A and B are shown apart, each in its own frame.
Chain A
Amino acid sequence: MREIKYDDIVKTIRDTIIYSGTVLPKDAYKALSDAYENEKSPVSKEVLKQLLDNADIAANETKPLCQDTGLAVFFVKVGEDVKVVGGSLKAAINEGTRQGYEDGYLRASTCHWDTRANLKDEIGYNLPAVIHFDLVEGDVLEIEYAAKGGGSENVSRAMVLAPAKGRKGVIEFVKQVISDAGPNPCPPLTVGVGIGGTFEKAAISSKHALFRTLGSRNEDPTLDSMEQELLTELNKLGIGAMGMGGTETVLGVHIEKNPCHIASLPVSVNVQCHSSRHTVIKL
Chain B
Amino acid sequence: MSKTYHLTAPLSEEDVVQLKAGDIVYLSGVIYTARDAAHKKLVDLLDAGKELPFDMKGAVIYFVGPTPPKPGDPIGSAGPTTSYRMDSYSPRLISIGQKGMIGKGKRNQDVIDACVKYKAIYFGATGGAGALLARQIKSAEVIAYPELGPEAIRRLEVVDFPLTVVNDSYGADLYKIGREQYEIKD
Contacts and interface: CB of A to CB of B under 8 A. Distances in A.
Check if A and B associate.
yes
A154 B82 contact: yes
B22 A54 contact: no
A67 B178 contact: no
B148 interface: yes
**How would you classify the secondary structure of chain A's contact residues: helix, strand, loop or mixed?**
loop
B182 A43 contact: no
A106 B130 CA distance: 12
A230 interface: no
A44 to B, nearest CB: 8
Interface residues of A, number: 53
A116 B37 contact: yes
Nearest to A22: B131
Interface in B1-56: 2, 22, 24, 36-37
B171 interface: no
Nearest to A68: B81
Given A67-B130, A107-B67, A245-B174, A151 B82 contact: yes
A162 B185 CA distance: 27
Given A118-B149, A184-B84, A273-B127, A107 B182 contact: no
A108 interface: yes
Given A47-B126, A50-B132, A63 B70 contact: yes
Contacts of A127: none
B182 A54 contact: no
Contacts of A51: 126, 128-129
A244 B124 contact: yes
Contacts of A42: 2
Contacts of A239: 179
A120 B186 CA distance: 53
Interface string B161-186: 01010000000001101111111111
Interface in A181-227: 182-184, 186
Interface in A264-283: 273-275
Interface of A: 40-44, 46-47, 50-51, 53-54, 57-58, 61-69, 105-109, 116, 118, 120, 124, 149-151, 154, 182-184, 186, 236-240, 242-247, 273-275
Interface of B: 2, 22, 24, 36-37, 64-70, 76-79, 81-82, 84, 104-106, 124, 126-135, 148-151, 162, 164, 174-175, 177-186
27 contacts: A40-B182, A43-B2, A44-B178, A51-B126, A54-B131, A54-B133, A58-B77, A62-B70, A63-B130, A64-B77, A67-B65, A67-B79, A105-B68, A105-B76, A106-B68, A107-B150, A183-B106, A236-B183, A237-B179, A238-B179, A240-B178, A242-B127, A243-B178, A245-B175, A245-B182, A273-B128, A274-B128
